Amino acid sequence: MKIKAVCPRDCYGGCSLILEVEEGRIIKVYGDKENRATEGLICRKGLEYIDRNYGRNRIKRH
């Protein structure tokens, strides 16, 4: 399933994202080409969302 989303970071770009989701888990993140400001490009932070959310080094408790 593909879901349209917006990057939650407070950057100047306001990147539109497309998330590919399978079984409730994000498997791919890419930029939305319909966003005229970014034309489908996303920054490094956006590209690393999957590892940030599911990686073994993520913070799991505080």
The CATH architecture annotation of domain 2-54 reads: Single Sheet (2.20)
Average pLDDT over residues 5-29: 87
Domain boundaries, the chain: 2-54
Phi, psi angle pair for 42, to nearest 5°: -135, 155
Tell me, what's the pLDDT at 13? 66
Higher pLDDT, 29 or 37: 29
Percent of the chain with pLDDT over 70: 98
pTM, rounded to two decimals: 0.76
Average pLDDT over residues 10-38: 88
How far, in Å, are 5, 20, 55, 60 from residue 36 at the CA level? 15, 21, 31, 36
**Backbone CA torsion sign across 35, 13, 6, 20:** positive
Higher pLDDT, 59 or 41: 41
Tell me, what's the pLDDT at 36? 87
